[in-house]
Structure 1
């Protein structure tokens, strides 16, 4: 358990003053950063969780989001490390029944009904690998049984196939789509990503989305094998021509238990991704997008047109509660981080047979861990107003984190202006390292694939697998 000792930042000791003059230089770029914090490592205490759910939440904690995990894909992409499966139709149907039962358990509680849910995100996996009927039942239950705000943003992830099912969701409130393109290049898609669609098909799919949604995101990956400057430039220009309202740009990450990890690391088929080249791609993209109407860069990987920021991303970064459903989903509710069972059979058994919340791990957070969560999640935003820290914790953020923040400013990664923390251009490159720097040394951080790392010096969670160096 972490112990917090409050030392007023205006009466610092000599050692603390010396620390604040320190500089840190990051050398390994953290590609993702924690998707939740602190890591839920403990056995779940269902009695305690159920007791919390019987009372209303505090007024200041009402703002919330929902995440729904659909762990199915029609095919497994070579780079993907998410919790996902290729399963027959009957297993998908059983999962949908279990998922709705889990949602019902939460929806029937006083705590959840006291929330103000402002964004819903259906992710995966591939949500549109489900049938139209299955997706309809999920979203119909969500919109009918949870306290969604009038302006609730509802996003559904998709691949550029079976889009009819996504469009069908419009009548149930889906108003935003996020599509994984990764690259438009035929050779890279076929040889390395194991994706079948060619550029013309992808553009047609995007046009179909555009004709039905006025707010949609495209995912692209840079630093892929055989992705020359020309290939990446073409990817970017093609994406810009689609009139997408939002772009998410990821660096290639070699996650364990993926075909890419096997090809690059175990079998040595391709050179390990070069970080210097990755940063060149990143800087070029940043400069290019600044000249377009997609010039609102609000995280280190998200660019949006004015007013088209992903509300789900922003609300989670602002440390609001996340009600997460589905196998392997991570949530944050009533001061507790949690993860549901990842294995489908266990998840189904907990919800349908045992009729209980399918929690596999939890962490009942201390006040200090909640403060850390505020920093780790909040610094996903490139400009963070810290005044809400005092509203949540009854203490100024500088009393707790000014020392570390000052080190980051000395190092050229952030600028502190009263209660505003803003990343510099250099800090944008290393933004996830800055986030990791605020994690507790003895606490485990968690990325999208539950890869564990230590954050005391902002070092890479994925260092052993994404930045492998050969002698």
Structure 2
């Protein structure tokens, strides 16, 4: 749905973020956490006995909410690095890592993958990055071959920072490029972060210095974007030494600088939703036909090389069209995707570090204190900064495996049974039969798979089909949505007490 503002077409932000739609209407809330029915939660509640270990391994996510340049329409929790808060935050992170290493629940847990996101982690100095990664490595056993990803912009990483990161085990860099079109970058407020030339030079530098795994982010829906400019972005992408990329939808935030510039006609309109859909499907056909592999419906790796095959990488067919022999990546066969499979489809433990970070430990999904100043104070006072979350019983854990696992396009039946002791069809027969009837998924002897292209289009509807009753029609958890949820719960309690 679109809204016209003084003749300028923009994607209606509130409509885009509407958090529940029933099929055949397409749900567009991006599902990435579960359960949604969360409330106040302390570290003592989450990490106290009885312990429910999901194994001897865990992943970690570290949030760095700082940027050297704050973009005009970025929706994420971030702050300028021009602040004394940065060094205090690094100190708080160091202490939080230390606090977790002292928890009995995490005794003998080996870290198998890690991810530093933000914000812009490389907005920190090389010394600060080294301190944080050294602290992780000194406090927890690290599995040989553990893959660690660090996000950056094209201007916030240089040879020295890269050397430090690689020495500390980082083997993948993810660059927020968004587009290779300089005019669009200026309109996005990214002129100070990079240009097409700078992006290309940074990618070439990373590869030249030995970084073999490079990912870039691109966006659909940028003001002034056309099919021709999008095709050019894809052509540039495929000409570079990049072996994975992600595609995201650009959103115009209400009251942002971009919103008002669109209102006043100071920048070209965003492409319509129909044009954005056309760009998306053109991208899918273009990259999959050239040997790239689908990881999710917005993440792609490749193209498939002999080096990957030598590592044991396996694939599965995407779609049933003989004229389009597209393939997806069997995530369980590739170490670079351990972070996704462990945390999403296998309900494995994930250590969350930093303000606003989400994690999963001891069968509790949790969120760290989102206010940076409060987070710093809690960590430096020796308190693990968990503030909200939810316990997941067996029914919620089984639901979680499919709610999140199907975002990865397929969940293997043997993986589900190994995690939960029962075949998924015995538990979710009604939901699976309904989805099969609508041609949104297919159930084989091996896996439950999202269909292509129909299921891809409705992937968040599919995910939400497995929400349990307490989570039905609830938004993805966040500080703001959780406040609304608490208010609703309080009103329900008051109403019940009044009737009683």
- CA distance in 2 between counterparts of 1:281 and 1:66 reads 34
Equivalent residue, structure 2, for 1:375:
402
Identify the match of residue 67 of structure 2 among 69, 73, 77.
Answer: 73
Distance 1:442 1:110, change over 3 A: closer
Cα shift at 1:117: 1.8
Identify the match of residue 419 of structure 2 among 354, 371, 392.
Answer: 392
Equivalent residue, structure 2, for 1:191:
187
Identify the match of residue 328 of structure 1 among 345, 350, 356.
Answer: 356
Distance 1:333 1:42, change over 3 A: same
Cα pair 2:204 2:241 within 8 Å, conserved: no
Distance 1:190 1:255, change over 3 A: same
Identify the match of residue 224 of structure 2 among 208, 211, 226.
Answer: 226
CA-atom RMSD, angstroms?
Answer: 2.7
3-state SS in 2 of match to 1:150: strand
3-state SS in 1 of match to 2:116: strand
Cα pair 2:187 2:267 within 8 Å, conserved: no
Cα shift at 1:388: 2.4
- CA distance in 1 between counterparts of 2:299 and 2:189 reads 22
Cα shift at 1:268: 11
Distance 1:180 1:409, change over 3 A: same
Equivalent residue, structure 1, for 2:11:
none
Cα pair 1:34 1:448 within 8 Å, conserved: no
Equivalent residue, structure 2, for 1:303:
300
Cα shift at 1:172: 0.8
3-state SS in 2 of match to 1:175: strand
Equivalent residue, structure 1, for 2:136:
142
Q: How does 1:223-262 map to 2 (within 5 A)?
A: 223-254=221-252, 259-260=257-258
Distance 1:404 1:123, change over 3 A: same
Cα shift at 1:83: 1.4
3-state SS in 2 of match to 1:118: strand
3-state SS in 1 of match to 2:188: helix
Residue 362 in 1 paired to residue 389 in 2? yes
Equivalent residue, structure 2, for 1:467:
none
Cα pair 1:282 1:429 within 8 Å, conserved: no
Distance 1:203 1:270, change over 3 A: closer
Q: Which has the higher contact order (CA 8 A, sep 6+)?
A: 1
TM-score (norm 1): 0.83
Aligned residues: 425
Cα pair 1:279 1:429 within 8 Å, conserved: no
Cα shift at 1:349: 1.2
Identify the match of residue 174 of structure 1 among 165, 170, 174.
Answer: 170
TM-score (norm 2): 0.79
3-state SS in 1 of match to 2:423: coil
Q: Deviations over 1:398-420 (max 9, x none)?
A: 12212112211211221111351
Residue 404 in 1 paired to residue 398 in 2? no
3-state SS in 1 of match to 2:80: coil
Q: How does 1:29-178 map to 2 (within 5 A)?
A: 29-30=27-28, 33-39=30-36, 41-52=38-49, 58=53, 60-164=54-158, 165-178=161-174
3-state SS in 2 of match to 1:362: strand
Cα pair 2:148 2:172 within 8 Å, conserved: yes
- CA distance in 2 between counterparts of 1:416 and 1:348 reads 47
- CA distance in 2 between counterparts of 1:365 and 1:266 reads 48
Cα pair 2:47 2:361 within 8 Å, conserved: no
